[in-house]
Structure 1
Amino acid sequence: MGGDRYRASWPQPFSSLPLLIFLFLFFFFLLNLTNFASAIENGSSNTATFAPPDNYLIDCGSSQPTQLVDGRTFKSDHDAASLLQTDEDVQASIDSISINAYSSIPSSSLPLYRTAKIFLEDSTYTFFISQVGWHWIRLYFFPVAHPSYNLIDAVFSVYADQIVLLHHFSVRDNTSLVFKEYFINVSDTFSLQFKPNKESYAFINAIEVVSAPDSLISDLATGVSPLGDFKGLSKSAFQVSYRLNVGGPTITPKNDTLSRTWEPDSQYNMFPQGSKDASVSPKTIKYPDNGATAYIAPSSVYATAVHIQDPLTLQPNVNLTWKLNVDPSFSYLIRLHFCDIVSKALNNMYFNVYINQMVGVSILDLSFLTNALATAYYKDFVLNRTAITNGSILVQIGPSEFHSGNMDAILNGLEVMKMSNEANSFDGLFTADGSYKGSSSAKRRMKILAAVGLGMAVTAMLLLASIFVRWQKRPGGWEKRNSFSSWLLPLHSSRTSFLSSKSSSRRSSLFGSRKSKSGYSSYFASQGLGKFFTIHELQNATQNFDEKAMIGVGGFGKVYLGALEDGTKIAIKRGNSGSEQGINEFRTEIDMLSKLRHRHLVSLIGFCDEQSEMILVYEYMANGPLRDHLYGSKLPPLSWKQRLEICIGAARGLHYLHTGAALGIIHRDVKTTNILLDENLVAKVSDFGLSKAAPTMDQTHVSTAVKGSFGYLDPEYFRRQQLTEKSDVYSFGVVLFEVLCARPAINPSLPREQVSLAEWSMQCNRKGMIEKIIDPHIASNINNGSLKKYVEVAEKCLKEYGVDRPGMGDVLWHLEYALQLQEAAASQVGPPDNSARVITLEKSRENDSRGDSDGVVSDNSEVSTIGSPLFSQIGNFQGR
């Protein structure tokens, strides 16, 4: 009875079951509805998760599974034993040894580094791939302690099928963890082979072979050097070199959509004082319908950024720079992540992207690309190994000077991936079968080096023999008349030469050998390179480079006033020996100036390259740079006539450069600091460190990386990287307005529309307000006709396209005509009848050429062409 009462009080099983099922489904629906709404709010891809079809995770040497804080579980050796194949002739207990010894690594580190598997013979893991395509290959190394094997001494190679991941690899440091990450397109079966070197062994702490979305790498990227489209990324394999969360903290695998780690960028940021961090909530980040996804980078990457600290106080030509050390023998895929989280409105930020000082993107407008703020965008670049110098990659961003809007630039994330080479390797040129796969040119270089080495050995033996013979025949009193170094003619003296002491062949073979007892080499004289000064001579001339003798500082280095023994004053420009760019400028300056002689070009007297120095010696220009006479100093202001004469002199110098040589020369850095004045205020163009030979007759331009000074840079050259003489004309147009207005080419402290002198002056001229921006010191003394002619030619110099600008011959004539109008007004005499000589800019442009330009006025300056093939065609050319 009691039992029946109990059963009677129990609910009937089928009476409540439908209700329970209904409640369960209802709550499940509500939960998913909430998640769906959250996904809509945050962006459809923002919460994306990826379930990899292949997910091999092995904690090598571990006796039990290892679970990480991100939720992933790595199998033990026992569970993964079927994947490992070893040499059948070797007992398994010897072939692979599991160790559980504790090491000195901190407990906070990943537990995957606490155990390892040691391989005494070649051993292979074989993985069966369910979905062919891109896979992550991640390898963990740390030499944990073992009683019988010192893993620091292990030397081995690792192959992924036929791809060489590591060649003769070793871990010599037991204080840091080693993590290698690769991205490889794999087929149906995939193997990892560990191959110990002879009489050594291999080891591994943990392995990951995990599927990745196919959309992670497209086949197309932007080539940087040469510039253009790069196709074929899908045929390459990649090794992750850097993955940076710019402006933000470390992102661990737990917070990444594909279990990646993103490190902070702070240690790679070369200009932190000009950088400002920005961040927003990751929930505000949006992903476009076709473009970046959360697989490309999680929203936490796009939610942080670095942008310009305060664009109004920074130097205008300064870019934010990240420097990443790399192996220069490989090409690299560089992925940049952008998301405008700082602008308040669309179309208000335009900036440029540079890779190794070459333009990657010009005038990048994120608003145009994404049609919204806080929207993810990324761009891939390929940098060829031939464009890598100094073993590093420089990524730079900077505001565009040719667009209105915020003077700002932004970067959110940065990835650098090494690309496999022709040997299908990430470590040298040896293939997986051990053969050398170097290019024919590399092999040829090796043979050449061997031949050179043999030749040098023979030369050294002959040299020693000659020294011995000379020693035997030395005359009496030889100690007083000769030094040991003088026996080695025509080799350099025993002093250390900057150009010959460096390992780079560019430096060591720059000018060849030279030496004489006086320090002046007949070799240099015959080559037209000027006098070779000893460092001792220049130290005496400057009181050991006393700071009191310093008269200026430039990008190349400091400039000192010196005096030779005969009392001649000289200007000594002492370069920064640590600058690779300085070496190029050093050589270019000597190559150019030593073969040019013109009344309106600064003369190079000589140079010195002893004791790791780069020193150029010029004629002394007593009145210094033109800019000092316009603003920023206490010097008395120049009159309008003096300014016209100075501009005419500078124009003559530039016109000679463009037309006076067989090929012509483009200065590429025309500005008021590079126009110097002598004691009589005669203008001379200086600083030829960036100069380039002009295009030949069958060329329209010279393709080259953009270089110059902010505010003077030709916008067409900047956009297209195509240099012509008209680039100098544009810069000279800025100089003309700088002379007229006595203000810098760029002044960030002014209202935005007035920051750029070129834009502001043309705007004022179009409105008929040019008189309002003229230097007050000269405004009342300028003849209207002279001013009109001057402003007319200055504005035409600043035309957006080079074809619309006049040649320097036209510029020179119009400046001289402006001077004649000014002089005529001052003497109250009408201007001379120049109707026969007056030409329109449009007509003269058609006839402008390097050797014959209408309206060119001679200044009777004698030109010296010092034994250079470059000037062999112009003979006794008279400078104009």
Structure 2
Amino acid sequence: MGGDNYRASRPQPFSSLSLLFLLFFLFNLTNSALAKGNGTRRARFMPPDNYLIDCGSSQETRLNDGRTFKSDRDATSLLQTDEDVQASVDSISANASSSIPPSSLPLFRTAKIFPQDSTYTFFIAQEGRHWVRLYFYALAHPSYNLTDAVFSVYADNIVLLHDFSVRDNTSFVFKEYLVNVSGRFSLQFKPKKNSFAFINAIEVVSAPDSLISDSATAVSPSGDFSGLSKSALQVSYRLNVGGPTITPENDALSRTWEPDSEYNMFLQGSKYVSVPPKTINYPESGATPYIAPTSVYASAVHIEDPLTLQPNVNLTWKLNVDPSYSYLVRLHFCDIVSKVLNNMYFNVYINEMVGVSALDLSSLTNALSTAYYKDFVLNESAITNGSILVQIGPAQSQSSNNIDAILNGLEVMKMSNEADSFDGLFTADGSYNGSGLATTTMKIVAAVGLAMAVTAMLLLATVFVRWQKRPEGWEKRNSFSSWLLPIHTSGPTFSSSKSSSRRASLYGSRKSKSGYSSYFASQGLGRFFTFCELQNASQNFDEKAIIGVGGFGKVYLGVLEDGTKVAIKRGNPSSEQGINEFRTEIDMLSKLRHRHLVSLIGFCDERSEMILVYEYMSNGPLRDHLYGSDLPPLSWKQRLEICIGAARGLHYLHTGAALGIIHRDVKTTNILLDENLVAKVSDFGLSKAAPTLDQTHVSTAVKGSFGYLDPEYFRRQQLTEKSDVYSFGVVLFEVLCARPVIKPSLPREQVSLAEWTLQCHRKGMLEKIIDTHIASSIDPGSLKKYVEGAEKCLEEHGVDRPGMGDVLWHLEYALQLQDAASVIEPPEDSSARLIALDNPSDIDSKGDTAALASVSDDLEVSTVGSPLFSQVENFQGR
């Protein structure tokens, strides 16, 4: 059936008694291995179909993992072709083999070349999912340059590869699929016209039925997903999180697991841990060695030293993918760090959307060191920047104060699309299948293209007329002439394939080294600066021009050609804050204009750069005027006026903007002061549109700055405008007390400013922690009204907090009381004025923020010179 060589390898008939004994022995042996799960050696899976072919080889090839690949010369009935040319070499040069795993090296020493359509046919004994693994390496050949080969590969009616080529002859290409097959299965190689195809090795091997279930958890929209059994899958990533490479000899299904360090975006916050694989257990139902070997569950990444990191930190893995497909994301968990049950609760996010909230592994497995896995389906519409972000972060629990989260393994599999393809929308018969949308879309594009062409001609005519009427001295004016500003449009934008590819670069890997995406400018989102303009404005980004350093990158003081001073925020390519924050900042600020919001002047996305240009705020962030610098202290009245300005800016965001905006990162480093100490709110990289009228909140991954974070938002991942109100309440007490919101060097009850001020106020001791520079000048009535408003901001539940309008009223009232008191001669004992504060009942504060009370001062963002934009601390929660 599968060639003489395959027939010869099949077992000969046994007597019924012998066969029964053999099956009983194998059953007990396999179950013993599955139950113990000890060691790194794999629990054997005996595939009913096991075609291993070393293409072009003259003899069988045995790998170190024990598998034997047969020569396709000995299985001629598998291959059907009118003509084939066999290419073989004895060895691969040392420099070429350096990138090939030693365990697979023998498979890349020979290849089969097909000048025309050729098909391998396999006879399947047991229908179901099968691995299809393809090995490609561009060997040297006297007549064929394999790097010139362009071809497609089809698995029956499934398109595995379309117009595929191997352009690099120094490394190998390995493709791995899971497809449903039955009966006769064909693998066709179809060269493009005037080209050829080749293959080095092939695997067609049965997979266990339990490997992929039919259902999973859908992330966007959230809910249950069913129908996985109907989809073919391609393995995109298979990571052994926290551990080394796992080779096929140590995996029950001959899989390779690579280390995760290349994809871990927050290594400094990650702690790698491992235990002996023999200590790992598998539950009675669920995970098995077929799902993942013990070596995967015996290593993990969890949060590095939670006592000195923010509890809202999210460990993040970033995986670049094709955004036009949906994906199955499988996460492997095993609690190998806890000492007792029910001590670790954490959240799981997929592309910043909640996958699981407050996951407690021990409640699912009823034991520690026990394997568990969970499948998620991510719809293609939820992939906006060409990557999948997998994040884990601690969740608060009433039964545990442990701040930790853990991940052991990660798999990402591409799901076949509507054309049954993994490579575009062309089907196996060569036709285009876009569910009927292609033709309609092409017609729309053609119609819009015609309309745009006519519009462009009219615009050019207008420009030409204006050019003829240009004023004298026009060439000396700013190069960005006002009459050449881009037209603002609100409708969809259709672009050429060239501009689309540039946009893909902007939203995806940004590998392009030159060129301007044109996306932001085409949307009317501000002035576009060339990279050279900003180089000149900042003296080639001179280190002496740095006025601030943050998570996004460095901030430079720049001077434009017309003498205007600007702040130039240049994105750091290695920063964890990337295109999403860049786009959000532009989208938000381009639509907002307010006296108390920092104005965005323009941007640059040329040469793969992400640069934002703001109005210059000469007095820098508010925090620098409170503590940590040698700047003169602000008076109480100045502080009130600054808080009022910031409150007006936030009130405008919540109620005055068209859709309502939640800032999500309110803190003293994001309140900037101009030359007149006018406060302006800045940094909109984390901002979110407020919930609509029929919504109560926005569900989103927790982001923000530790110490200012709304505990209700942190617990429930439900964002509202009241989250900004809580953060602003912390700011108000920071302004009053002039100390960091988190200070680990203090006794535990004093570490958190929000918790400590509430305690002191309730005990009537607030005067003891007020900034000594202003304590003697504050009017008691003004202070009472100020503290009353700040305390309401810090209510446990958002519904009990005031809106920013009410907060603003309290601040303005406090200012009026202070102004009124200033015309009256102060008493001799000014300190006695503070005793007039209300003395609420002497009770301890609630312990909800106690878990937030351990963090390092090292996380405070440093600034240089006269800081301007102090960005969010460099942690993944940002």
Q: What TM bracket, shorter-length normalisation?
A: 0.7 to 0.9
Shift of 1:504: 2.5
Q: Tell me the equivalent position of 1:806.
A: 802
Q: 1: distance between equivalents of 2:305 and 2:261? A: 18
Q: Do 1:336 and 1:378's aligned partners in 2 also have CA atoms closer than 8 Å?
A: yes
> Structure 1 pair 445/723, CA: closer, same or farther in 2 (3 Å)?
farther
Q: Tell me the equivalent position of 2:589.
A: 590
Q: Tell me the equivalent position of 1:730.
A: 726
> Structure 1 pair 397/279, CA: closer, same or farther in 2 (3 Å)?
same
Q: Tell me the equivalent position of 2:706.
A: 710
Paired positions, count? 769
1:603-631, Cα deviation, whole Å (9 max, x unpaired):
6384465977744343x555432222332
Q: Decide which of 151, 154, 157 is 1:159's aligned counterpart.
A: 154
Shift of 1:303: 1.0
Q: Decide which of 508, 513, 535 is 2:518's aligned counterpart.
A: 508
Q: Tell me the equivalent position of 1:284.
A: 279
> Structure 1 pair 111/767, CA: closer, same or farther in 2 (3 Å)?
farther
- Secondary structure (helix, strand or coil) at the match of 1:277 reads strand
Q: Tell me the equivalent position of 1:25.
A: none
1:677-718, Cα deviation, whole Å (9 max, x unpaired):
456655443444544554454544456665433333334445
Shift of 1:422: 1.1
> Structure 1 pair 640/375, CA: closer, same or farther in 2 (3 Å)?
farther
Amino acid at match of 2:220: S
Q: 2: distance between equivalents of 1:151 and 1:564? A: 53
1:704-740, Cα deviation, whole Å (9 max, x unpaired):
6654333333344456555432222122122233234
Bigger Cα displacement from structure 2, 767-776 vs 582-591: 767-776
Q: 1: distance between equivalents of 2:337 and 2:687? A: 39
1:416 aligns with 2:426: no
1:410-559 alignment, distance < 5 Å? 410-450=406-446, 490=484, 503-504=502-503, 508=518, 510-512=520-522, 547-548=543-544, 550-555=546-551, 558-559=554-555
1:299 aligns with 2:294: yes
Q: Percent identity?
A: 73
Shift of 1:820: 6.6
Q: Do 2:130 and 2:181's aligned partners in 1 also have CA atoms closer than 8 Å?
A: yes
Q: Do 2:239 and 2:257's aligned partners in 1 also have CA atoms closer than 8 Å?
A: yes
Q: Decide which of 323, 330, 333 is 1:335's aligned counterpart.
A: 330
> Structure 1 pair 556/255, CA: closer, same or farther in 2 (3 Å)?
closer
Bigger Cα displacement from structure 2, 46-55 vs 529-538: 529-538
Shift of 1:179: 1.6
Q: Tell me the equivalent position of 2:665.
A: 669
Q: Tell me the equivalent position of 2:68.
A: 73
Q: 2: distance between equivalents of 1:110 and 1:682? A: 67
Amino acid at match of 1:414: L
Q: 2: distance between equivalents of 1:62 and 1:258? A: 24
Q: 2: distance between equivalents of 1:283 and 1:639? A: 65
Q: Decide which of 221, 239, 250 is 2:234's aligned counterpart.
A: 239
1:18-66, Cα deviation, whole Å (9 max, x unpaired):
xxxxxxxxxxx99999999987665799974322222222223333333
Shift of 1:421: 0.9
1:580 aligns with 2:579: yes
Q: 2: distance between equivalents of 1:566 and 1:478? A: 18
Q: Do 2:553 and 2:572's aligned partners in 1 also have CA atoms closer than 8 Å?
A: no
- Structure with larger Rg: 1
Q: Do 2:521 and 2:528's aligned partners in 1 also have CA atoms closer than 8 Å?
A: no
Q: Tell me the equivalent position of 2:212.
A: 217
Q: Do 2:659 and 2:689's aligned partners in 1 also have CA atoms closer than 8 Å?
A: yes
1:742 aligns with 2:738: yes
Q: 1: distance between equivalents of 2:125 and 2:358? A: 44
Shift of 1:259: 0.9
Q: Tell me the equivalent position of 1:616.
A: 613
Q: Do 1:467 and 1:487's aligned partners in 2 also have CA atoms closer than 8 Å?
A: no
1:552-598, Cα deviation, whole Å (9 max, x unpaired):
3445555555778999x85534343964235424423533433x3x4
Q: Tell me the equivalent position of 1:9.
A: none
> Structure 1 pair 252/735, CA: closer, same or farther in 2 (3 Å)?
same
Q: Tell me the equivalent position of 2:834.
A: none
- Secondary structure (helix, strand or coil) at the match of 1:417 reads strand
- Secondary structure (helix, strand or coil) at the match of 1:268 reads coil
Q: Do 1:43 and 1:287's aligned partners in 2 also have CA atoms closer than 8 Å?
A: no
> Structure 1 pair 361/764, CA: closer, same or farther in 2 (3 Å)?
farther
Q: Do 1:52 and 1:212's aligned partners in 2 also have CA atoms closer than 8 Å?
A: yes
Q: 2: distance between equivalents of 1:743 and 1:480? A: 53
- Secondary structure (helix, strand or coil) at the match of 1:195 reads strand
Shift of 1:78: 4.9
> Structure 1 pair 405/781, CA: closer, same or farther in 2 (3 Å)?
farther
Q: 2: distance between equivalents of 1:634 and 1:371? A: 56
- Secondary structure (helix, strand or coil) at the match of 2:368 reads coil
Q: Do 1:402 and 1:715's aligned partners in 2 also have CA atoms closer than 8 Å?
A: no
Q: Do 2:57 and 2:111's aligned partners in 1 also have CA atoms closer than 8 Å?
A: yes
> Structure 1 pair 96/762, CA: closer, same or farther in 2 (3 Å)?
farther
1:306-339, Cα deviation, whole Å (9 max, x unpaired):
2334445557765433332222222222222222
RMSD: 4.7
Q: 2: distance between equivalents of 1:195 and 1:31? A: 42
> Structure 1 pair 757/32, CA: closer, same or farther in 2 (3 Å)?
farther
1:132 aligns with 2:132: no
Shift of 1:255: 0.6
**TM-score, structure 2 normalization:** 0.75
- Secondary structure (helix, strand or coil) at the match of 2:262 reads helix
Q: Do 1:577 and 1:614's aligned partners in 2 also have CA atoms closer than 8 Å?
A: no
> Structure 1 pair 751/453, CA: closer, same or farther in 2 (3 Å)?
farther
1:562-577 alignment, distance < 5 Å? 572-576=567-571
Amino acid at match of 1:77: D
- Secondary structure (helix, strand or coil) at the match of 1:214 reads coil
- Secondary structure (helix, strand or coil) at the match of 2:324 reads coil
Amino acid at match of 1:434: G
> Structure 1 pair 592/31, CA: closer, same or farther in 2 (3 Å)?
closer
Q: 1: distance between equivalents of 2:478 and 2:640? A: 56
Bigger Cα displacement from structure 2, 674-683 vs 530-539: 530-539
- Secondary structure (helix, strand or coil) at the match of 1:267 reads coil
Q: Tell me the equivalent position of 1:377.
A: 372
Amino acid at match of 1:328: P
> Structure 1 pair 743/364, CA: closer, same or farther in 2 (3 Å)?
farther
Q: 1: distance between equivalents of 2:540 and 2:147? A: 51
Higher relative contact order (Cα pairs below 8 Å, separated by 6+ residues) = 2
- Secondary structure (helix, strand or coil) at the match of 1:234 reads helix
> Structure 1 pair 538/285, CA: closer, same or farther in 2 (3 Å)?
closer
Amino acid at match of 2:366: N
Bigger Cα displacement from structure 2, 628-637 vs 604-613: 604-613
1:200 aligns with 2:195: yes
Q: Do 1:502 and 1:508's aligned partners in 2 also have CA atoms closer than 8 Å?
A: no
Bigger Cα displacement from structure 2, 734-743 vs 684-693: 684-693
Q: Tell me the equivalent position of 2:831.
A: none
Q: 1: distance between equivalents of 2:171 and 2:529? A: 50
Q: 2: distance between equivalents of 1:482 and 1:75? A: 76
Q: Tell me the equivalent position of 1:875.
A: none
1:750-769, Cα deviation, whole Å (9 max, x unpaired):
67776554455556666777
> Structure 1 pair 296/747, CA: closer, same or farther in 2 (3 Å)?
farther
**TM-score, structure 1 normalization:** 0.74
Q: Decide which of 619, 622, 626 is 2:622's aligned counterpart.
A: 626
Shift of 1:402: 8.0
Shift of 1:180: 1.2
- Secondary structure (helix, strand or coil) at the match of 1:408 reads coil
Q: Do 1:531 and 1:605's aligned partners in 2 also have CA atoms closer than 8 Å?
A: no
